[in-house]
């Protein structure tokens, strides 16, 4: 079993346990994992709309002098594409690590065709393989750090280009690949 498969299994169990615990305590049902649900193209479409909204925000933030927030908008543009794909295949995710593991697992299982660079862009880095320009690293630096602008215009351009490519990829996967590929 691959690392992604193990993580998906763990995420499914995590959500199940958290939902059971919520019910037991009489609390609002919620989880921070991954649930298998009915495939939902309408939700997938809404996530793509949100991804496009975030893509537009990248430029808007830059225009008004908040380019540090452009990085977060780029990250979430790509992330909402992942959530769109999850919805198409019948998963609800409330955890970034679980969402990324699901996308990686769906690729490994040949359920969809997605360039691994999109996964690596959002995936947590192993210490020995830190990569320059990964959206997750930039988001953490600019969201939690003290910089208030992105001095390197190429970073924002690359994030815009990556977001556009990911939106196109998500649309292809959600709307062109048949649901018979559903795991």
User: Which domain CATH number covers 89?
Assistant: 1.20.120.330
Structural element, H or E, at residue 121: helix 116-122
- Residue-level pLDDT at 68: 83
Indicate whether 154 belongs to any domain.
yes
The per-residue pLDDT string of the chain (183 residues; one tens digit each, 9 = 90 and over) reads: 999 999 999 999 999 999 999 999 999 888 899 999 999 999 999 999 999 999 999 999 999 999 888 888 999 999 999 999 999 999 999 999 999 999 999 999 999 999 999 998 887 533 333 344 555 566 666 666 656 676 767 878 888 999 999 999 999 999 986 444 444
User: Number of C-alpha atoms within 13 angstroms, CB side, residue 76?
Assistant: 15
Distance, CA of 25 to chain centre: 31
Indicate whether 52 belongs to any domain.
yes
Indicate whether 4 belongs to any domain.
no
Domain span at 67: 39-181
- Residue-level pLDDT at 176: 85
Q: How many domains does the chain have?
A: 1
- Please state the pTM of the whole predicted model: 0.85
CA distance 16 to 22: 10
Residue whose token pair is 């927030």 = 69
- Residue-level pLDDT at 153: 78
- Residue-level pLDDT at 155: 79
Phi-psi region of 65 (alpha: psi -120 to 50; beta: other; left: phi over 0): left
């Amino acid at each position: 079993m691959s690392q992604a498969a193990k993580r998906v299994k763990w995420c499914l169990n995590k959500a199940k346990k958290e939902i059971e615990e919520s019910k037991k305590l009489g609390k609002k049902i919620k989880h921070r994992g991954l649930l298998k649900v009915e495939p939902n193209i309408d939700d997938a479409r809404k996530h793509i709309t949100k991804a496009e909204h975030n893509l537009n925000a990248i430029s808007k933030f830059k225009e008004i002098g908040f380019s540090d927030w452009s990085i977060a908008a780029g990250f979430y543009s790509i992330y909402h594409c992942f959530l769109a794909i999850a919805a198409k295949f019948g998963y609800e995710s409330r955890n970034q690590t679980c969402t990324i593991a699901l996308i990686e697992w769906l690729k490994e299982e040949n359920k969809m065709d997605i360039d691994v660079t999109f996964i690596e862009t959002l995936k947590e880095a192993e210490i020995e393989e830190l990569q320059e320009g990964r959206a997750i690293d930039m988001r953490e630096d600019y969201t939690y750090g003290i910089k208030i602008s992105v001095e390197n215009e190429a970073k924002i351009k690359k994030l815009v280009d990556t977001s556009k490519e990911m939106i196109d990829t998500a649309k292809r996967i959600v709307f062109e690949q048949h649901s018979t590929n559903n795991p």
